[in-house]
Amino acid sequence: MKSLAELEAIREKALKEINLRDNTGKTRVVVGMATCGIAAGARPVMNAFVDELNKRNVQNVNVTMTGCIGVCRLEPIAEVITADGVKTTYVKLDPEKARKIVVEHLINGRPVKEYTISEAE
């Protein structure tokens, strides 16, 4: 170890890996992973969320799973829930849409209206 900067570089890299063990004050992306969701392709959607968030170095979002949300015909479904409880429900997702939600909604703060449940209905 030659300098504090070197330690800091290791710290940042390692922090990214254990970041998900801290869930205070974070936005959550909750992906429906019941039988209906998995059959409709929820797993690649969830992995796309995880991958894109990591690529773009987003630290304040955790991706978690839940069971059936109830509108099985609109799966894969994911909900974005901010730390103060504002909920946006996205439906009929695929990996591409997930990546777009990361960039538009989770980074730039603009929900992707055309993928939301209110548009689909």
Which CB sits closer to other proteins, 62 or 82?
A: 62
* Site residues, other proteins (CB under 8 A): 1-4, 7, 10-11, 13-18, 20-21, 23, 28, 31-35, 38, 46-47, 50-51, 54, 62-67
- In whole angstroms, the minimum distance from the beta carbon of 113 to other proteins comes to 26
Q: How many residues does the chain have?
A: 121
User: With b meaning 16 or more CB within 10 Å and e meaning fewer, what string describes 54-87?
Assistant: eeeebeebbbebeeebeeeebbbbbbbbbeeeee
Which CB sits closer to other proteins, 11 or 110?
A: 11
The residues that bridge with 29 in the sheet, in sequence order, are 63, 80
Which CB sits closer to other proteins, 32 or 95?
A: 32
For 26, list phi and psi in degrees, rounded to 5.
Answer: -105, 155
- In whole angstroms, the minimum distance from the beta carbon of 8 to other proteins comes to 8
